[in-house]
Structure 1
Amino acid sequence: MTKVPSLVQMMSQLIGSPSISCSQASWDQSNKGVIQLLESWLSSMGFECKVLPLPNQPEKFNLIATIGKGNGGLVLSGHTDTVPYDEGRWESDPFKLTERDQKLYGLGACDMKGFFAIVIDTLRDMDLSNLAEPLIILATADEESSMAGARALSQQAKWNARYALIGEPTSLTPIHAHKGIMMDKIRVTGQAGHSSNPNLGRSAMDAMHEVMTELMSFRNELKQTYRDASFVIDYPTLNLGCIHGGDNPNRICGKCEIEFDMRALPGMSNDALFNAVKQRLPTIAERTNTEIELSSLFPDVPSFSTPKESDIIKACEELTNNDAETVAFATEGPFLNTLGMETLVLGPGSIDQAHQPNEFLALDQLDPMQKVIKGLVERFCTQRQ
C-alpha cells in the first residue's frame, strides 16, 4: 500500500510533476503525473478512484475519488494544471518546492496544487470509515486554458453531492459569486494596395478604427446599464486586449484583428453580449466595403453565483470569521453549480501570487485551511443532513 507522504513532501511531488495547460501547443502538457500521484495517495486512504480521460484529449484526465455511500455529502474540488511560467524571472526552480521566509515557492503552490496536499494531509488524520454522507475529491484538467475538464463533467448527469468547495486561492475568504468571461476576436478583411493611392485598396485598419469606436461605445453602455454593488468593479467590463494588422508602412492594410474579453455580472447572458456585438458590425462592413467576422477564441465561462443563505456559505463564514465576497476572476464554480451542487470558492494563498514569477503559499495559511476542511467534512459528511 502506498504510504502518504507529509504535506510538504506531497506539495514537492505535485509541483515536481509539470502539468501546464495552454492554448499554445508548445507549452501544453499532460496532467497525468499529477493525477497518478493523487490517485495513489487517495486510494491508499480508502477512496474509490475513477480516472476519466477528457473527450478527444487522451492525455488529459479528471479524477473523481469517493469515500462513503449515499446521496448528499461534500465535494472538495481543484484543478491539476498550472499556467506557463516566465523563464529567467524565478529566483528558484519553478518545479522544485523551495521554502524561504515562511513561504513555500513553486509553480502551482497556491494555484492550486498546494490545496490538494492540504486536503489529503487533513483527511488522513480523520476517521472516514463510517461517513453518514459521501466525501468526494475532484481533480480536473485544463482549468487554466479551456476548462475542458469541468465542461466534460458538466455534461454528465447531475451528481448526488449537495455541496462543493473549490480551493482556489482567496486568502481564506469565502467567495459566493464571480463574473463570467468570454474572449472573442474580430477580423477585418480589406484589400491591400500601394499606399500612394488609397483607391487601390480598402484599409482594414481604417475599418478597425470604427470597430474599436463601436466597442468602446458598447462598453460605456454596459457600464451605464448594469450594476452590482457587491463587486469591487461593479459593472461588466470589456477590455481591448491586443491588435494585429498590416505588414509595412507603404502598403494599405489588408487584414486587421483585435482580441478582447468581456466579463458579465451574474444574471447577464454571455450569448446576449456576443450577439449584441455581432449586430453592430454589418453596418461598419457595408460602410467601409470590408468583411468583418466575429468569433470566439475559447468557449465562454458563465458567471457564478450561489445564494449567501446557502448552508455551505454560512458554514465557511463561521469557520473563517470572514464574510462571503465576490471576485472578478473566473473559476469552475458555474459548472459545479450546473451539476446540482451549492458551490463556493475558498482556498489558501492569494490570487495576487497566482500566475506570477515566484508563486508562493505562505505557511500561515495551512492550519486555517485545514480547520475549514475538517469543519466542513464533520458538518456535511459525518452528520446526516
Structure 2
Amino acid sequence: MIFPLLINNKNATMKLPSFIQIYNELITIPTISSVTDGKLDCTNKVVIEKLANWFNDLGFKTTITSVPNTRDKYNLLATYSNNDNLTQGGLLLSGHTDTVPFDEGLWTKDPFKVTELDNKWYGLGTADMKGFFAFILESLRGIDLKSLTKPLHILATADEEITMAGAAYFAQHAQLQPDCTIIGEPTSLIPIRAHKGFVSNIIRITGKSGHSSDPEKGINAIEVMHLVIGKLLELKQKLKDEYHNTSFAVPYPTMNLGIIRGGDAANRICGCCELIMDIRALPEMDIQSLYDLLCQTLKPIMDRYPGRLKVDYEVDPIAGYECQHDNPALMEVEKLVNQKAQTVNYSTEAPFLNQIAPTIVLGPGSIEQAHQPDEFVSTEFLKPTIETLQKIITRFCK
C-alpha cells in the first residue's frame, strides 16, 4: 500500500524504490544475530550499504563504521544539513539492523520476504525492526529537505539483539548533540520514556568429582548450587522489598533463574554446575552496585568453598533508562502524537543513546510480534507512522 504524499524533493525521491520495494529489500537480506550458532549469524553489511546508498540519493552525508569486537558488523550514520552545522541540535532517528533467529518449523510464511495478507505485512524484521528504515525513507518523500534549518541524523546500528555493541560504540564516540532521539522499536506508536535494565549472570560451581559410593571424597557441585539458589531467593525478596519505582507495572527489580546445567551420571559426584539468571534492574539502579550486591550475597558460600564459585556476566549488562516526565523533548513528542509516555519492562538501545540526547522509544507495530513466528506489522500503522515521523522531523529540524 502506497500513500499519496506530497513530494517536494522530487529529483531525490524519484531515485528511491517504492515503499513496499524498500521494505521487501530490507527483509530479503538476512541479518540474524546469533552467538550460540555461528552458522546462523550474519553480517549486516549489505543492509548497511543499501541504506547508505538510499540516503546518499537523498543528499545525506553517510558514514559506515565497523563495530569492534563483533562478527563483521557495521553502523551507519546518515546526516542531512543545509549549513555547516552537522552536530548541534536537530533530530536523531535510530534503529537496529539485525534480527533474532527464526523457528523454521513454526513459520508459515517466508521469513525473508514481505507477504501481505489480511492487512498485515509478514516477515522477519517487519516489526522488530528493519522496517522502520522504510518508514523513515517514505516519510522523507513528503518533506522538503532544503527547508530544514537543523540537522537530521539517521542511525542504523549492529548487534542489538545480542550485545548492543553498535549502540554502545556509537554513544562512546559520537560527536553530535541532537535535541531529541527517537528509537523506532515497535511500541504501537505509544511513546516510551523508561525501561528496566537487563543483567544476565552465569554462576559456575566447580566441585570435586568422584564415585557416588563415597560422597565424602568429593564436593558435589549440585549441592553447592542448592545453597547458592537459597541465597539468590533471599536476594530476590530483598530486591522486591527495598527497591521500588511506581512508574512500572511491575514496580520492583525482578530476578529469574533461567537455566541450570550440571552432572553427567547418577553414580558420579557432580563436578560442575552452572546457573544462568537475569535481573531486570530499575533505571535508577547502578549496575556495578548490583553486581557487588550479588557477590556479597554469595560471599558466605564463597568463603565456605574457596575458589569454587565464580560469578560472570553472560553478556555485557544493559542499564535501565529513563527520560524524565518534564523533559522538553518528551513533552513535545507527547503533544505531537497526543499520547502520554509509558514505561516498559523490555530493553532497548535507549540507555546508550540517552547519553547523547533525550531519547524516546516510539515506532510502528506491536512488541507482541517481536521474536515471534510469522512476525508482522499491521498495515493500520503505515499511514499514521509516516505522518508521525513527518511531524517529528518538522518539529525538531525546521
**Shorter-chain-normalised TM-score: which range?**
over 0.9
Q: Secondary structure at the match of 2:368?
A: coil
Distance between the aligned counterparts of 2:56 and 2:218, measured in 1?
Answer: 66
Matched, 1:49 2:66: no
- Equivalent residue, structure 2, for 1:6: 18
Picking from 140, 163, 167, the partner of 1:123 is 140
Give TM-score, length-normalised by structure 2. 0.93
Contact 1:187–1:256 under 8 Å retained in 2: yes
The match for 1:21 is: 33
Say if 2:283 is the partner of 1:266.
yes
TM-score relative to the length of structure 1: 0.96
CA–CA distance in 2 between the matches of 1:135 and 1:120? 12
Structure 1 residue 161: Cα displacement: 1.4
Alignment of 1:318-357 (within 5 A): 318-339=335-356, 341-357=357-373
Alignment of 1:42-121 (within 5 A): 42-57=55-70, 59-68=72-81, 69=83, 70=85, 71-121=88-138
> Residue 222 of structure 1 corresponds to which residue in structure 2?
239
Give me the whole-angstrom Cα distance separating, in 1, the residues matched to 2:92 and 2:327: 15
- Per the alignment, residue 3 of structure 2 pairs with none
1:365 Cα deviation (Å)?
0.6
Residue aligning to 2:8: none
Q: Deviations over 1:31-54 (max 9, x none)?
A: 011111111111101111111111
1:299: Cα distance to partner?
0.8
Query: One-letter code of the match for 1:40?
Result: N
Question: Distance in 2 between the 1:319 and 1:6 partners?
Answer: 27
Does residue 295 (structure 1) correspond to residue 278 (structure 2)? The answer is no
Q: Are the aligned partners of 1:140 and 1:150 in contact in 2 as well (CA < 8 Å)?
A: yes
**How many Å separate the matches in 2 of 1:26 and 1:191?**
35
How many positions carry a matched residue from both structures? 381
Of the three residues 198, 202, 207, the one matched with 2:224 is 207
Residue of structure 2 equivalent to 1:233: 250
Q: 1:201 to 1:333 in 2, by over 3 A?
A: same
Residue ranges of structure 2 left out of the alignment (5+ in a row): 1-11
Identity in percent: 46
- Provide the C-alpha distance between the structure 2 equivalents of 1:58 and 1:381, rounded to a whole number of angstroms: 35
Paired amino acid for 1:103: K
Aligned mate of 2:48, from 15, 35, 53: 35
Relative distance call for 1:304 and 1:139 in structure 2 (3 A) is same
Deviations 1:272-304 (A, max 9, x none): 111111122232134356700000111111111
- Counterpart code for 2:52: E
Secondary structure, counterpart of 2:173 in structure 1:
coil
Q: Is the deviation greater in 121-130 or in 133-142?
A: 121-130
SS of equivalent residue, structure 2 residue 384: helix
Alignment of 1:135-154 (within 5 A): 135-154=152-171
The alpha-carbon deviation at position 57 of structure 1 amounts to: 3.7
Contact 1:316 1:372 in 2 (8 A): no
Alignment gaps of 5+ in structure 1: none
Q: CA deviation at 1:177?
A: 0.5
Please say if residues 188 and 255 of structure 1, whose CA atoms lie closer than 8 Å, have aligned partners that are also in contact.
yes
Contact 1:188 1:290 in 2 (8 A): no
2:383 is equivalent to residue 367 of structure 1: yes
